[in-house]
Structure 1
Amino acid sequence: MVEREDSRPGDWSAHALQLFLTTVWSMVVDEDSYTGGYPSWIESRLRGRERGSVPDGASLTALDRILACGVDPEDLTDVVRQMQHELVRNVCELIDDPGLSGIGLDEDWSEQVDFRWELVAVRTTGPAGRAPIDGLHSSLDEFDPSGRSGGPRGRPIPARLPGYPLHARLAVAQARAGDRIQAINTWRKATGAPVMEAKAAIDLLLDQLRQDPESAP
Structure 2
Amino acid sequence: MSTPAPDAAALLHELLLRGLWSTVIDEDAPEALQRHGGAVARMLAAGVDPHDLVDVIREAQVDTIYNVAQLIDWPDEHVAPDDACEVRLAASLAGATAQPLPELHSCLMERDPSGRAGEPRSPELRQYAMLDAGVRAQIKALAGARKFPAAALLWKRHAGGDLAAALAAVKQLAIRAG
Shorter-chain TM band: 0.5 to 0.7
Q: Structure 2: which 5+ residue stretches go unaligned? A: 139-152, 163-178
Is the contact made by 1:31 and 1:77 (CA closer than 8 Å) also made in structure 2? yes
Answer yes or no: is 1:188 the counterpart of 2:132: yes
Q: Which amino acid aligns with 1:39?
A: E
Superposition RMSD on alpha carbons, in Å? Answer: 3.7
Max radius of gyration: which structure? 1
Is the contact made by 1:89 and 1:137 (CA closer than 8 Å) also made in structure 2? yes
For 2:157 and 2:44, how far apart are their aligned partners in 1? Answer: 28
Matches within 5 A, 1:153-172: 153-156=121-124
Please list every run of at least 4 consecutive aligned residues from structure 1 whose deviation after the TM superposition is greater than 4 angstroms: 8-12, 192-196, 199-202
Is the contact made by 2:74 and 2:88 (CA closer than 8 Å) also made in structure 1? no
Aligned to 1:120: 90
Which one of 21, 28, 44 corresponds to residue 35 of structure 2? 44
Aligned to 1:95: 72
Matches within 5 A, 1:1-217: 11-32=7-28, 34=29, 38-40=30-32, 42-45=33-36, 60-97=37-74, 103-104=78-79, 109-111=80-82, 113-123=83-93, 128-156=96-124, 174=127, 182=128, 186-188=130-132, 203=157, 206=160
Q: Mark the CA change 1:136 to 1:74 in structure 2 (over 3 Å): closer, same or farther.
A: same
Query: Deviations for 1:92-120, whole angstroms, at most 9, x for unmatched residues?
Result: 222323687xx35xxxx333x34344322
The structure richer in strand per residue is: 1
Task: Give the fraction of aligned pairs with identical amino acids, expressed as a percent.
Answer: 34
For 1:204 and 1:145, how far apart are their aligned partners in 2? Answer: 26
Please report the TM-score for the alignment, with normalisation by the length of structure 2. Answer: 0.62
Please report the TM-score for the alignment, with normalisation by the length of structure 1. Answer: 0.52
Q: Which amino acid aligns with 1:44?
A: R
Q: How many residues align?
A: 145
Q: Mark the CA change 1:62 to 1:143 in structure 2 (over 3 Å): closer, same or farther.
A: same
Q: Mark the CA change 1:205 to 1:95 in structure 2 (over 3 Å): closer, same or farther.
A: closer
For 2:131 and 2:103, how far apart are their aligned partners in 1? Answer: 41
